[in-house]
Structure formats: structure tokens, C-alpha cells
């Protein structure tokens, strides 16, 4: 069941390239607002302090616990209180506040500092409304991937970002969180392939994305990204990074080149939900729909109890309180700090016990994550195995050595791997 390239022997021997050094702080460092204080919002807030010369200035998040936890950790400190303009429950409140602040400033009144840019870290389907909503503020934006969940939203976003005067360069930055482009090893790989040409022309690429069996169960069977109707296909929500990297390596010209992109001539894809479906449910699980009441649970590798509470993966028993444990119980650290380990475990088990049945309204089922749900009984419909083939024709206008000859790239997203 293992995909190729999914195992690395002697992982401790891997040489990891260092991240670029943190730049020196300027006299007026860029000030950023985090919109959505979930996993990614926290990752950017932390990275701002650790790796950039920017400041995490404000947070938008409807869930009070998450908002305050991010604020305490990265904005106003453990002993501080949020000042005016440092926390908002909804991005629309922030937009209204910022407009009022600018109006007061224009009238010569003293006002708190505003922000220069925003990290949009809300769920995929909200990206478009937040980007369009921030439009009038004309600030820099980094939006998490995927940009949007359908083509028409992408086009609306693109149009909204075009400068009014097309003869002028845009006055602000807009980027999408295709973070693989910024990992030191991928930056080095691109330099070696496109600038140093260490292996000459690229003719054929075989790229596998090993999602990891329990990561897939967490995010794409029980979690946020399990249904196309409420999220998007897994090729988009998970593998847009990989497709982006392939195009970055094979279509985008090297830095300082005047050549246009060399786009693929053909793209085809096949995929299916092959594994995580009811017909694979072991008979021993009988009619159980939740791990906590399942007779097969002790023998099931997908047991939610093992994944979130156990010692072997990244459950609480392994000492982990971050992802994925924190996704099930966001305030797990508070439970441990105030009431101890047993209370933390009980909080996770209580959440895992939540289940739905034939009487539960459909929208209640679809808007919530069900982390204790049997992986063979979930309402997931996204592909767990998918291949993409891209082919490039020769660019007849290019010169030999430009790397614009015919080539093929094969991509395989597979969930059944040990490595994540």
C-alpha cells in the first residue's frame, strides 16, 4: 500500500538548509493584520516575529479563545490587554474601523497606527469575500492557498486586483500562500535546474505527494476538506502546492529572463475515492459510526482515539498539543495548564464522541468536523488517489538550451503513505 518515495531512511541524517536570516528591523516596520487565527494564522504570526522585520499588529477572529490566544502570544503579550484596533471579531469590523480611522486622520485627529498588509487565513471558501472586502483599503495582501474554490471566483479576484490605470505598475503586493516556493531546498532546486542548468534540459518529471494515511483521515475524511460541496476537490485543496511547484520549475522562466511562460499544451487527470468509503468497513465494526462506541476500535489503525489521544502518532499521549490535537480542542493547552493531563484527555474524548445520525439536519453535518467519526462511515467525497499528466510541446520560437523543449510531468497524490 505504500507509494514510491514515501519513506526516507535515516531521517536524522537529512541535512536541512537554514532559513534566511531575520532582516534588521527598520524604523517603521511593516504592520500586518492576521485574518483568521487558526493553524495558518498562528503560523504566520509566529513567523513574522521569528523570520521577518514585520510586526503582528492586529487579529481578526470570531472565536474569542483563539483571538485572545493569538493576541496574547504575538500582539499585546501575556500581561497586556488589547488596545483599540488590535482585535476584531469579523473582517468587516476591521474594514469599518480602518475607514473610520483614516477619516479621523484626514480630519487632523490623533489616531492609532493602521496596518500595511493582511494575511488572509480564513477557510478557502471565504477568501474571495475577504479579498474583495479589503479592496477599498488598498493594503498589501497575502492570501492563503488555494486562492479560491472555483474559476469564476479566481477571475473576480483577479479583476478586483487590477490597477485602475493599467499603464502604471500596481502599488501594492498580492501573493498566494504557495509556501513551497519559499522553502530553502526548493529555492536551491530551482536555481540548480533553471539557472545553473546542472542536469541540462528537463525531459520528464515524476512527482509524488505522499499525504499520509492519518493526515488524510484527519483533514480529508473527517475534517474541513472532506467534501467538494463545502470545500473543493482534494487536488486543489491539498495538491495545488505541488502543481504550483511543477509549473514554477517547468513553465516559469528563470529570474531575469525576458521569455514568457512556457505553458503545458495538455493537462489530464484521473482520480477517485478508492479507499475511504463504506464498502471497506471491516465487518467487526458492525453498525458503529463513531470510534468511541466501536467494537473494532482497538484493532483499527484509523481509530480517532489512537490518532488524537494515543502515543504512537501525534496524539496527546506523544506530548503533542499542536496540530492535529489543537484542531480537535483548540484550548487543549489551557486544559492541561489548569486541570492536568486527564482533563485534557477527557476534553478530546468528549469532542470525539460527537456523532450524527439520520435525524441530524444536513447543514449541521456539513458545517462541522467530526473527528471521532468512523472513516468508513463519513460523508467524505474527495478523491484519495489522483494522478495528473501534463505535457509541453516544443516552443518553436525558443533557442536550444532555453529549456523550452517538449516534456512530460506526472503527478501522483496518494493518501496511503506512512510519511506526511
Q: Three cell numbers at 6? A: 514515501
Taking CB under 6 A as the criterion, the residue among 57, 69, 70, 121 binding ligand NAD is 121
Taking CB under 6 A as the criterion, the residue among 144, 377, 384, 385 binding ligand NAD is 144
Q: Which is nearer to ligand NAD, 297 or 384 (CB)?
A: 384
Taking CB under 6 A as the criterion, the residue among 47, 63, 202, 292 binding ligand NAD is 63
Stretch that binds ligand NAD, among 68-76, 119-127, 205-213, 357-365 (CB under 6 A): 119-127
Taking CB under 6 A as the criterion, the residue among 123, 186, 230, 277 binding ligand NAD is 123
Q: Which of 43, 112, 51, 31 is nearest to 73 (CA)?
A: 43
Q: Which residues on adjacent β-strands are paired with residue 130?
A: none
- Burial of 338 (C-beta count, 10 Å sphere; 0-12/13-18/19+): exposed
> How many residues lie near ligand NAD (CB under 6 A)?
24
- Using alpha carbons only, what angle is made at residue 219 by residues 215 and 225, rounded to the nearest 5 degrees? 145
Stretch that binds ligand NAD, among 33-41, 200-208, 266-274, 299-307 (CB under 6 A): 33-41
Q: Which of 98, 398, 97, 372 is nearest to 263 (CA)?
A: 398
Stretch that binds ligand NAD, among 4-12, 30-38, 290-298, 397-405 (CB under 6 A): 30-38
State the minimum distance, in angstroms, from the CB of residue 99 to ligand NAD: 17
- Is residue 378 within 8 A of residue 370, CB to CB? The reply is yes
State the minimum distance, in angstroms, from the CB of residue 91 to ligand NAD: 5
To the nearest 10°, report the CA torsion of 233, 236, 237, 238: 110
Q: Which is nearer to ligand NAD, 60 or 329 (CB)?
A: 60
Site for ligand NAD in 175-204 (CB under 6 A): 177, 179
Q: Which helix (H) or strand (E) holds 39?
A: helix 39-51
Q: What is the CA radius of gyration of the chain?
A: 24
Calpha distance 383→277 (Å, rounded): 11
Stretch that binds ligand NAD, among 106-114, 120-128, 352-360, 388-396 (CB under 6 A): 120-128
Site for ligand NAD contains 98 (CB under 6 A) = no
Calpha distance 116→138 (Å, rounded): 9
Name, in order, each residue with C-beta under 8 angstroms of 200's C-beta and a sequence gap of 6 or more.
none
Q: Is the dihedral of CA 36, 38, 39, 42 positive or negative?
A: positive
Residue nearest to ligand NAD as judged by C-beta position: 38
- Is residue 92 within 8 A of residue 133, CB to CB? The reply is yes
Site for ligand NAD contains 70 (CB under 6 A) = no
Site for ligand NAD contains 215 (CB under 6 A) = no
Stretch that binds ligand NAD, among 13-21, 38-46, 150-158, 287-295 (CB under 6 A): 38-46
To the nearest 10°, report the CA torsion of 34, 40, 44, 46: 110
Site for ligand NAD contains 314 (CB under 6 A) = no
Site for ligand NAD contains 61 (CB under 6 A) = yes
- Using alpha carbons only, what angle is made at residue 398 by residues 395 and 400, rounded to the nearest 5 degrees? 110
Site for ligand NAD contains 321 (CB under 6 A) = no
Taking CB under 6 A as the criterion, the residue among 115, 116, 131, 145 binding ligand NAD is 145
Q: Which is nearer to ligand NAD, 237 or 380 (CB)?
A: 237
Site for ligand NAD contains 147 (CB under 6 A) = no
Would you tell me which residues interact with ligand NAD (CB under 6 A)? 35-41, 60-63, 66, 90-91, 121-124, 126, 144-145, 177, 179, 237
Amino acid at each position: 500500500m505504500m507509494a514510491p518515495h514515501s519513506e526516507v531512511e535515516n531521517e536524522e541524517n537529512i541535512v536541512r538548509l537554514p532559513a534566511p536570516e531575520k532582516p534588521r528591523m527598520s524604523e517603521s516596520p511593516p504592520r500586518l493584520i492576521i485574518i483568521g487565527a487558526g493553524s495558518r494564522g498562528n503560523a504566520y504570526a509566529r513567523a513574522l516575529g521569528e523570520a521577518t522585520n514585520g510586526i503582528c499588529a492586529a487579529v481578526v477572529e470570531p472565536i474569542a479563545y483563539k483571538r485572545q490566544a493569538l493576541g496574547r502570544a504575538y500582539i499585546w503579550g501575556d500581561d497586556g490587554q488589547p488596545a483599540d484596533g488590535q482585535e476584531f471579531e469579523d473582517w468587516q469590523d476591521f474594514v469599518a474601523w480602518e475607514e473610520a480611522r483614516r477619516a479621523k486622520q484626514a480630519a487632523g485627529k490623533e489616531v492609532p497606527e493602521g496596518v500595511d498588509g493582511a494575511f488572509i487565513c480564513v477557510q478557502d471558501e471565504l477568501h474571495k469575500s475577504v479579498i474583495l472586502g479589503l479592496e477599498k483599503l488598498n493594503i498589501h495582501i497575502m492570501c492563503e492557498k488555494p486562492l479560491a474554490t472555483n474559476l469564476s471566483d479566481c477571475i473576480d479576484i483577479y479583476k478586483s486586483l487590477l490597477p485602475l490605470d493599467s499603464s502604471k505598475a500596481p502599488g501594492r503586493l498580492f501573493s498566494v500562500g504557495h509556501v513551497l516556493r519559499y522553502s530553502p531546498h526548493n529555492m536551491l532546486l530551482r536555481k540548480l535546474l533553471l539557472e545553473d542548468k546542472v542536469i541540462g534540459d528537463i525531459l520528464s518529471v515524476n512527482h509524488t505527494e505522499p499525504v499520509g494515511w492519518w493526515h488524510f483521515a484527519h483533514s480529508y475524511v473527517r475534517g474541513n476538506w472532506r467534501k467538494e460541496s463545502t470545500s473543493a476537490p482534494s487536488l486543489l485543496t491539498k495538491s495545488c502546492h505541488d502543481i504550483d511547484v511543477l509549473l514554477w520549475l517547468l513553465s516559469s522562466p528563470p529570474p531575469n529572463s525576458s521569455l514568457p511562460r512556457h505553458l503545458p499544451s495538455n493537462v489530464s487527470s484521473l482520480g477517485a475515492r478508492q479507499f475511504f468509503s463504506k464498502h471497506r468497513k471491516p465487518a467487526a465494526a458492525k453498525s458503529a459510526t463513531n470510534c468511541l462506541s466501536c467494537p473494532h476500535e482497538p484493532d483499527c489503525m484509523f481509530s480517532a482515539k489512537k490518532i488524537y489521544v494515543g502515543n504512537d502518532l501525534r496524539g496527546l499521549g506523544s506530548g503533542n498539543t499542536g496540530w492535529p490535537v489543537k484542531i480537535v480542542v483548540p484550548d487543549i493547552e489551557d486544559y492541561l495548564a489548569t486541570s492536568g493531563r486527564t482533563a485534557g484527555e477527557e476534553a478530546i474524548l468528549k469532542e470525539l464522541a460527537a456523532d450524527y445520525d439520520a435525524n441530524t439536519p444536513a447543514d449541521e453535518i456539513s458545517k462541522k468536523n467530526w473527528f471521532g467519526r468512523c472513516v468508513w462511515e463519513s460523508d467524505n467525497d474527495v478523491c484519495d488517489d489522483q494522478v495528473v499528466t501534463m505535457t509541453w510541446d516544443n516552443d518553436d520560437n525558443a533557442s536550444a538550451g532555453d529549456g523550452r523543449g517538449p516534456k512530460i510531468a506526472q503527478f501522483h497524490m496518494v493518501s496511503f503513505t506512512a510519511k506526511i
